[in-house]
Amino acid sequence: MGVKTRPGRSESPSFFAWPARWRLVVAATSGVILALSFTGWYIAVFAWVCVALLLLAVFGARTGIAAACGFLHGLVFVLVSLCWISAVIEVHGGASPAAAIGVLLLIAAAWGVLTGLFTWAVNQVAAKSGSRACLAAPFLWVALEFLRDHLPRVGFPWNLLGYPAAANLALVQLTAITGIFGLSFVVAGYNSLLAWTVLPRTGSVPRRRRFAVFGGVTLILAVIAFAGPRFVPQARAAYWARLAQPNLPEEMVYPPDWYAAHQSDLEEMERISLAPGAHVLDLLVWPESPGPFSFQDARYAALANSLARTARVPFLSGVIEWKRDPSGPASRLLPYNSAVLLDAQGRRIFSYDKVHLVPFGEYEPFPLIHRVVTSVSSEVGGFAPGHVYSVGAFPNGRRFGVFICYEAVFPGEVREFTAGGAELLINLSNDGWFGRSAAPAQHLRMARVRAVENRRWLLRDTNNGYTVSVDPYGRIRARLAPDERSAIDAPYDFRSGRTLYIRWGDWIAWLCVVVSALILLSGRGKKRAAARPR
């Protein structure tokens, strides 16, 4: 018995003839299960199969149902894996619970639209050939991830498909060639292969041969994943940094007596920063500013100068820099989220102003909706962006790049530092705004991949976790427990080699964009040709 569809569209016998409601259920389920690769127990294997479920829900569906499947998948994925967004907006953004949930739903809906574009495109290709749709799916998936990375002013490449696989020490090495988008392509490709394997009929390839191909690929990946880590080289470190974790409470407004109220906290921070250790230190680091720390404030300037001179090593600290507005009156000062380096004599020798600010947190991406945004929260915006991915130099001449908090999730932007000559990467962050949600762990998992992509040591210093040292192959070599005031002596070194990713950037993502465009244009061309009168 045939399945009724709209005119011009028929249910292909090579696809599963599921009712629309079951397709939507499968799509939503795949989104929930995929989210568990990024939260909870972080079950990485789910990322290798959930997109296949989504593809099977889409193949043979009506166009509208296919797009709805993708939308639903993306919507529930965000609500499960990024539910912390509403808590951050409510607790630290001053928004009402209803407004916080509304913002989360808005983000989830936008994510769903992009995933809906993916399933719509796959569905269009599948109308001609299931095999071609499986072949096209990895290119389309990565192209839309890349679009999410580059959305003007609101790019959000959080929880890309390749990150669960990147937790494996062997698999993550691919990112030194392709960046994280290459690993997303591999995972999406495996999902497509799984979908192709279980389809009832796909062209002239018998199911037995398809299962043989799938089994062979699975075996190769399993061998790499389980045996490969032992062949990953060990990196030696010749330097040591003291990474201080203040664990100061988050405050939306700093009162005039903040320094007096937190005198004991600052004294304890000095003690742990200067305490004798088992290693001769080469660097002292404080994280993204967890207090009213500014070199325009004489109290902090004196504290930082004393720390550098007493430790007798360079001191890198996250601060708020107040600078004159270049386009406004001379008396107007703008705040920048910055990092400043002092030498061992307490002299300021380098500064970096955060380039990629957090949308709706550190700046308003759409000034025209200022009234709407401020009606949700009066704490939105205010920071000015930097414009240069500055590379600094220590007194010994070795070069480093420092990126701040949210910038860690943008692979192409971190690459700007190593392409500019940075031999060491330093990430300053204040993940205290996330509370004890899944966000700090997700943030660390993404930042760790930046070390591998660029084959650089990464020193990551946070206010309350996770403070770590990562070697150029992705091993965490030193770690502080979250939610405690402490410091750790972290190993690091300098490397000047250039990976293929440093040289070529996101070449595989651009390849996917080009191939996806050709796929879609080819489909439109065939439709136009078919519509011409004969």
Q: Would you kindly state where each structural domain of the chain is located, as residue ranges?
A: 20-231+507-527, 239-492
- Which pLDDT does position 1 carry in this prediction? 39
Kindly report the number of other CB atoms within 10 A of residue 370's CB atom: 12
Whether 266 shows a pLDDT value over 90: the answer reads yes
Name which of 370, 439, 363 is nearest 86 in CA terms.
Answer: 439
Torsional class of 37: left (φ above 0), alpha (ψ -120 to 50), beta (otherwise)? alpha
* Each residue's pLDDT tens digit, 400-437: 999 999 999 999 999 999 999 999 999 999 988 787 88
* Each residue's pLDDT tens digit, 105-154: 999 999 999 999 999 999 999 998 999 999 999 999 999 999 999 998 78
Which two tokens mark 511? 């390849």
Whether 487 shows a pLDDT value over 80: the answer reads yes
* Each residue's pLDDT tens digit, 154-190: 899 999 999 999 999 999 999 999 999 999 999 999 9
Query: Binning pLDDT at 50, 70 and 90, where does residue 4 land?
Result: very low
Pairing of strands 486-492, 399-404: unpaired
Whole-angstrom Cα distance, residue 182 to residue 172? 10
Write out the catalytic residue numbers: 288, 354, 405
Which two tokens mark 529? 């040709």
Please count the CA atoms within 13 angstroms of the CA of 472 that sit on its side-chain side.
20
The CATH number of domain 239-492, selected from 2.70.50.30, 3.90.650.10, 1.10.8.60, 3.60.110.10: 3.60.110.10
Give 322's strand partners. Answer: 335
Whole-angstrom Cα distance, residue 203 to residue 413? 43
- Which pLDDT does position 69 carry in this prediction? 98
- Which pLDDT does position 516 carry in this prediction? 97
Give 392's strand partners. Answer: 400
**Tokens 């660097």 appear where?**
283
* 364-369: average pLDDT: 58
> DSSP state, 200?
S
Asked whether 190 and 217 are in contact (CB, 8 A), the reply is yes
Whole-angstrom Cα distance, residue 128 to residue 113? 24
The answer to whether the peptide bond before residue 473 is cis (omega within 30 degrees of 0) is no
Whole-angstrom Cα distance, residue 201 to residue 14? 5
Asked whether 259 and 284 are in contact (CB, 8 A), the reply is no
- Which pLDDT does position 94 carry in this prediction? 67
Kindly report the number of other CB atoms within 10 A of residue 86's CB atom: 22
- Which pLDDT does position 329 carry in this prediction? 75
Whole-angstrom Cα distance, residue 384 to residue 363? 7
- Which pLDDT does position 254 carry in this prediction? 87
Query: Binning pLDDT at 50, 70 and 90, where does residue 372 land?
Result: very low
